[in-house]
Every structure is written in structure tokens, then in C-alpha cells.
Amino acid sequence: MNDFTPLPPTTTKRRPRTWLRVTLVLLVVGLVAGGLYGFQQFKAGILKQVVANIRSEQPTVATATATMQDWQSRQAAVGTARASNGADLAAEIGGVVDQIDFESGQNVAAGTVLLRLRPNDDAAKLAQSQASADLAEITLQRDEKQLAAHGVAQATVDSDAANLKVTRAQVAAQQAVMAEKIIRAPFAGRLGVRQVDLGQFIAAGTAIVTLQQLDPMFVDFYLPQQALGQIADGQAVEVTADAWPGKAFPGKISSLNSKVDVTSRMIQVRASVPNPDGALLPGMYIGVSIATGAPRSLVTIPAAAVAYNPYGSLVYVMHDENGQHIVKQQFVTTGEARGDQVSILKGVAANDVVVTAGQLKLHNGSIVKVDNTVQPADNPAPVPVDR
């Protein structure tokens, strides 16, 4: 007989608690899901309200009217001023500065004596060579007479003639040495700052002073090879310099280089500019403008009206519809720019009203308010103002 007695089952007592727990979990999950859904609906409503408020506000813009203007195409470049003749004067031989005959900044004529080196015994050496030459000449004359009387041989006369040439060459050589100790202006121009002092020993090649011929002045600059068909010798140019703001110096193209630089594909151009008052100096940074072609009429708008992006250039053109100002995007083809203006080749017609400020707030079809109290610059030739 088995003594094991089974215990009474307890599942019937624990089942109500299990269902209660499941019910509570489902209830909590439902509440969380309902809260999340409600929050999303609340957020969506707020966003719709904000967007509606933003769209209901009309952005304020500034506008300008496109105009038809005469437009002169130009090639612009930067160059360097160069003297028509310029040299750093130096002594050909060494010596001690014995005399200085110029002042710094002086205008001198061609051939003016500027400096002399100490002559030392040059005059004595010249006299010695000259005496030898005189004796050789007398000897030659005497032997020629003897030759006519058959008193000397022809070889003696030939030797005398050669000796005379040698002694005269020695005289010329000594005169050249003495001339090298006198520094003269090779051309007319303006002297620079003196670099040597009286009594100073200078070696051959030591710079003494610079001499520059300032009128006319050359301006060297480079243009791309595509411009070759638009420029020619004698063509008018205008140059400007930072030292003289607002002033333009007229000139003309004097020469074009005979080859194009194979590295940059640019061609060197030289312009000649009258400079009677010496306002331009060698080495100055120069702006160059060359008028190319005949003037033509083009539609122009302020450069601030054009928005540039990878898809092209566009402007916002304003139209009046039902008493409201509505802007529409218009892609344009831009041409050359001058100052604060840009020319429009396609996309905008004369008298069209374009937006010049406030474009970031706009989209195609926006209704806008116009306030032209403040306008962007629209000057074809702006001049910087120093403050």
C-alpha cells in the first residue's frame, strides 16, 4: 500500500492573480500608447499653427526697376608701371669718389656729369703715352724721307708705322680709363636717392643712383589669349593707381608680345601713358581698363538682385495681381558687371521690377510687402570711401 498522498492543486487559487497582472500590463501599455499618440497629434497641431502663422506673415522686400543703359564692354587687368628708360647707374671701375655733381631727386639732361672718381696718376700716364706716340710719329716721318733717298729699308718704315699705331692705341686706352672714372647720365630723366658718399671707395659695379625717364610711362600687363581678337596696337586704354584715387590716366597700347606664355596662356601687353607731371612711378601697381567693341544697349539691374546657385542665376520678378505684390522666380543669363551693376542678356526686360533685398525669405509665388527705404548700391563706378 502506497503511503504518498497528493497535495491539493493550487492553480485554481493563483489564476485570478495572473489575469490581474496581465490586465494591468495591458492597461499601462495602452495608456502609454495613447499618450504618445496624443503628444504626436498635439505637436502636429502646434507645427501647423506655426507654419500657418509664418505663411500668413508677408515678407518685406526692397525692389528696383530694370533699366536699359548704354554698355561699353571692357577688358580689365592689373599691371606694373615701368619707366620708358630706366637704369641703376654704376661705376665701371673701382676708385675713390672724388666729386659728386648731383642732388637726389634732380632732373638731369642726357650727358650731364654726375660723379667723378679720383684720377690719381691717370693724367701722367696719358702724357707718357702721348709722348711715345709723338716720338713714333716723328720717327716714321724721318724714315719715310730716308726711304725716298734709299737710306733705309722698307721694313724699317713698316716697323715705324706699326709702332705709331701701338702708341696711339695706348693713348686711346688711357683716355678710356679716365673716361670710365666720370659717370654721366645716359639719357634725360629723374635721379633717385644717392647711394654713395664723397671720399668713399667703391668697387666696379657699385650702384650710385637710379635714373628713370618718367614721360612717357610704360605699363606692362597680361591678358588671356581669348582677348587677342579684341585688342590691337594704338588702342586706347585707361590706367588707375591706388596713389591717385578717382583719377584715370589715358594712354594707348604700344606693343604686344610676339608669343603667348605656354604656362599661363596669357599674352604680355605694353601700354604707353603720358606722364608729364611724374605722378606715376616705376614699380607702381596699376589697374588697366581697355574698351573693346562698340557700345550697346543692355538691360541692367543691381548686382544684389541676382542670386547665384548651382542650377543657375535667378532673380525674383514682382507682379501685381488683385492688388497684391506677388514674386516669381526667373532664371536669367548674366553678362558683364561694372561696379554695383550687372547686365542681363536673357530673362529680364526693361521696366521689370526685381527684388533687391529680402530674397532669403521668398519662394515662388510669395506675396510680399515693399519697403524701398533702404536700397542696395547701384553705382556703375563706385569709389571706396576711406574712414
pLDDT digits (tens, 9 = 90+) for 245-290: 888 899 999 999 989 989 989 999 999 999 988 889 999 999 998 8
Q: Do both 198 and 100 map to the same domain?
A: yes
Q: What percent of the chain has pLDDT over 90?
A: 19
Q: What is the pLDDT of residue 383?
A: 62
Q: Do both 287 and 307 map to the same domain?
A: no
Q: What's the chain's average pLDDT?
A: 84
CATH code, domain carrying 262: 2.40.30.170
Q: Which set of grid coordinates corresponds to residue 262? A: 605656354
- Indicate whether 120 belongs to any domain: yes
Residue 1 pLDDT level (bands cut at 50, 70, 90):
very low
Q: Do both 108 and 85 map to the same domain?
A: yes
Residue 179 has pLDDT above 90, yes or no: no
Q: What is the pLDDT of residue 18?
A: 77
Q: What is the pLDDT of residue 5?
A: 54
Residue 369 has pLDDT above 50, yes or no: yes
Q: Do both 189 and 144 map to the same domain?
A: yes
107-127 pLDDT per residue, tens: 999 989 999 999 888 888 888
Of 140, 175, 202, the one marking the end of a domain is 202
Q: Do both 272 and 352 map to the same domain?
A: no
Q: Do both 185 and 87 map to the same domain?
A: yes
Nearest 5°: phi and psi at 382?
Answer: -70, 150
Residue 320 has pLDDT above 80, yes or no: yes
Of 244, 275, 291, the one marking the end of a domain is 291
- Indicate whether 222 belongs to any domain: yes
Please indicate whether residue 97 or residue 43 has the higher confidence score (pLDDT): 97
- Indicate whether 91 belongs to any domain: yes
Q: Do both 95 and 132 map to the same domain?
A: yes
- Indicate whether 67 belongs to any domain: no
Bridge pairing between strands 67-71 and 201-202: unpaired
Q: Do both 175 and 95 map to the same domain?
A: yes
- Indicate whether 328 belongs to any domain: yes
CATH code, domain carrying 129: 2.40.50.100
Beta bridge partners of 64: 354
- Indicate whether 61 belongs to any domain: no
What span, in angstroms and rounded, lies between the C-alpha atoms of 387 and 373?
Answer: 24
Q: Do both 323 and 280 map to the same domain?
A: no
Say how many domains are in the chain: 3
Residue 74 has pLDDT above 60, yes or no: yes
CATH code, domain carrying 336: 2.40.420.20
- Indicate whether 212 belongs to any domain: no
Residue span of the structural domain in which 356 resides:
296-370
Q: Do both 171 and 224 map to the same domain?
A: no
Q: Do both 120 and 177 map to the same domain?
A: yes
Of 202, 236, 253, the one marking the end of a domain is 202
Residue 208 has pLDDT above 70, yes or no: yes
Q: Do both 311 and 350 map to the same domain?
A: yes
6-48 pLDDT per residue, tens: 555 554 445 566 777 778 777 888 888 887 888 888 878 777 7
- Indicate whether 142 belongs to any domain: yes
